[in-house]
Structure 1
Amino acid sequence: MRDEKLPRFHAGHDLVKFFYGGLRRLPGYRVDALLGWGVNITMVKGDQLLVFHHAREHQAFQTGRTRIWMRAKWRSRRCTGPLSGFFSAPREEVERSSMSRFAMTDEERYHFDLRGFLVVRNALTPDEISACNASIDQFHDRMIFHEQGSQTRGSGALSATAGRGELWGLLGLPAPYRDPFRRLLVHPVVVPRLNELCGRRFRLDHGPWLITGRRGTDGQRLHGGGEPFNPADWYHQQNGEIICRAVTVAWQLADVPAGAGGFCCIPGSHKANEPAPHGVTSLEDTMNLVVQPELRAGDVLFFAENTTHGTLPWRADHERRSVLYKYTERAGARDVGPHFTPSERYGEWTDELAPEQQALLYGPGLHTAGKPLPYIDSDGERVWISEVRRGPDVRRGPKGAAAG
């Protein structure tokens, strides 16, 4: 950000209150007092004060004498009052619970960037939890179950006595049972954080669905990771912005105490440059890298899809209940749309094309609902179909490769 693009302050501007937990003494800063988390800054003519456009608990500031290279989202508020100085109230006076619940803090950004997942406590009220659980109870007979061992892929450490259960189509349940899950789709705790993680044009890629199981339910082999690279779920940071291609939001409708099982991951693996060893993904040799976050009913878990993650066998006496929404940034496509094959997208005239020509007319997506997805190759003279893959259909439950 260049100086000429910075806003100019003069008499008549009232500066926005902010808090900054990591205050550093830099040339040009004059800090007169430090009251808890609040600071009193004296300004002189010619100084410039900038705050982030998204008013949060921890904001950045600078004067015209000092340049700090941070995200260029600044705002000033024109009001009445002299430009004699700036004072922020002590942190304890701020309604912290309301601010941190509905806005992503700098601490949360740091945690997600460092570890690849984030837990927001008490995101749901008791009434919201009860409404979701009541809807699930009403349609418990629609539950579908994986075969025992189908998710473990031969891992003895993840095997138990039964496959996990899933309930799909939550957004399309009859009224009023669908209403709680439709509210979760755009819950005010989720939206600002996905705006930060996926970008403001994020969308739901697939889901939501319930993952459940009683004591003795199988785990799921760990999958995902920074290596090998997957174009559907990568993670990147540039110019202070997080760009996460795919984020899973898992709402907890039952407690997940330490040792209970359920979701597990390898913190920081979304940035890994080496593939996870076989013994780690099978949990036969975890290398002390795998963690199981302790969760409570009402908490919501965010994790980058390319964080190496899976599920531990369920050991608690009560039923596991986690509802997963799979989001992506606008250009991402994991689950395919209704128009995927060449004829579905362009018409029957595509049947006249050669197979290698048809191969380039398929729609985006990796979860192909069992439809073939051809790959082409060439030796410089001719082009041919080198491979045909059939991807899973995550919308139908047990055939899917969905994480839990």
Structure 2
Amino acid sequence: MVQPSAVLDRLGWRGWLHRSGGPRHLHNIFEMGEPFERLIDHPSWVHHMGRFVGGDDGLFIDESFIDIRSRGGATRIHSGAHKRRIRTQFRFHNNQFRCGQINILLALNDIGDGDGATMAIPGSHKSNLLHPAFEDPKGTGSGHSLDRVEAAVQIQLDAGDAVFFVDCMAHGSSERTRPGERRVAIIRYGPHWGNDRYGYQPSPELIARLTPERRKIVQPLPPKMPPGVQWTNRRIDE
């Protein structure tokens, strides 16, 4: 699933789909068609997203990408509540959640022991203290993976499983030691007033074909234009 094309390999772009970081990241994945569009408001999780972001604040997806990882690949420990970033915050006030970013991680193939599974430190989304692994990369392996990070747990998934967590929970992954690839789709939800992390925009064609419910999540605030001006979102070389 999700095989990079020759066009992507050569130019980094195929339409509005973008490859970055070599062949390992595919961004703007809703541009790949209806199967991926269904993930925007998938019934397995969309109501959870609304609850934890804040039920009356609307939703916006500020990043959607495929991550492909081969042997030796890993993600270092990052995030953590000690940073107190509004964008990734965990907040519960007056009986309502106000989380800045909730991540959906959807397994596209089985991810077991040795496959480079996501790892997280439970409870770290509420911590005011810096985890020692952030300051001791050589002693814990945090410069590469979370395999030796104290209190980190591995999250193994079967293909089709999805896990979600607030981004300020300190997380990363174990190192992939087996042949083959780990493939996951990652979708990040936040409040409607957010902006795309890297500046990616939906194509006019995507906006036109989305259901009203999905369009409201992908583009909750359509551009306001003066009378007589039409917003096209076209590339300048077209």
- Using a 3 Å threshold, how does the CA distance of structure 1 residues 319 and 286 change in structure 2: closer, same or farther? closer
**Are 2:122 and 1:267 equivalent residues in the alignment?**
yes
Q: Are 1:251 and 1:323, in contact at CA under 8 Å, matched by a contact in 2? A: yes
**Are 2:59 and 1:203 equivalent residues in the alignment?**
yes
Rounded to whole Å, the distance in 2 between the matches of 1:284 and 1:172 is 32
Rounded to whole Å, the distance in 1 between the matches of 2:171 and 2:6 is 27
Q: Are 2:119 and 2:171, in contact at CA under 8 Å, matched by a contact in 1? A: yes
**Are 2:32 and 1:169 equivalent residues in the alignment?**
no
TM-score (norm. length: structure 2) = 0.68
Q: Are 1:202 and 1:330, in contact at CA under 8 Å, matched by a contact in 2? A: yes
**Are 2:3 and 1:137 equivalent residues in the alignment?**
yes
Q: 1:146 pairs with 21, 34, 37, which one?
A: 21
Q: Provide, for residues 35-93 of structure 1, a one-character-per-residue CA deviation record: whole Å limited to 9, x for no partner.
A: xxxxxxxxxxxxxxxxxxxxxxxxxxxxxxxxxxxxxxxxxxxxxxxxxxxxxxxxxxx
Rounded to whole Å, the distance in 2 between the matches of 1:309 and 1:287 is 10
Q: Provide, for residues 252-282 of structure 1, a one-character-per-residue CA deviation record: whole Å limited to 9, x for no partner.
A: 1111113421321111111111012223543
**Superposed, which structure 2 residues align to 1:281-360 within 5 Å?**
281-282=142-143, 286-333=148-195, 335=197
Farther-moved stretch of structure 1 (223-232 vs 254-263): 254-263
Residue equivalent to 1:255: 110
Q: Are 1:215 and 1:318, in contact at CA under 8 Å, matched by a contact in 2? A: yes
Rounded to whole Å, the distance in 1 between the matches of 2:61 and 2:39 is 15
Rounded to whole Å, the distance in 2 between the matches of 1:220 and 1:334 is 22
- Using a 3 Å threshold, how does the CA distance of structure 1 residues 257 and 230 change in structure 2: closer, same or farther? same
- Using a 3 Å threshold, how does the CA distance of structure 1 residues 139 and 171 change in structure 2: closer, same or farther? farther
Q: Are 2:110 and 2:159, in contact at CA under 8 Å, matched by a contact in 1? A: yes
Q: Are 1:165 and 1:213, in contact at CA under 8 Å, matched by a contact in 2? A: yes
Farther-moved stretch of structure 1 (137-146 vs 250-259): 137-146
Q: 1:214 pairs with 63, 66, 70, which one?
A: 70
Q: Are 1:259 and 1:315, in contact at CA under 8 Å, matched by a contact in 2? A: yes
- Using a 3 Å threshold, how does the CA distance of structure 1 residues 315 and 287 change in structure 2: closer, same or farther? closer
Letter in 2 for 1:268: G
Residue equivalent to 2:42: 187
Identity of aligned residues (%): 24
Rounded to whole Å, the distance in 2 between the matches of 1:294 and 1:140 is 32
Rounded to whole Å, the distance in 1 between the matches of 2:196 and 2:35 is 25
Q: CA deviation at 1:287?
A: 4.9
Question: Gapped runs of 5+ residues in structure 2?
Answer: 10-18, 202-238
Question: Gapped runs of 5+ residues in structure 1?
Answer: 1-132, 148-163, 340-404
Q: CA deviation at 1:245?
A: 1.1
Rounded to whole Å, the distance in 1 between the matches of 2:86 and 2:63 is 20
Q: State the secondary structure of the residue aligned to 1:234.
A: coil
Rounded to whole Å, the distance in 2 between the matches of 1:334 and 1:272 is 27
Q: CA deviation at 1:239?
A: 3.0
Rounded to whole Å, the distance in 1 between the matches of 2:182 and 2:146 is 23
- Using a 3 Å threshold, how does the CA distance of structure 1 residues 313 and 284 change in structure 2: closer, same or farther? closer
Q: Are 1:202 and 1:327, in contact at CA under 8 Å, matched by a contact in 2? A: no
Rounded to whole Å, the distance in 2 between the matches of 1:336 and 1:261 is 25
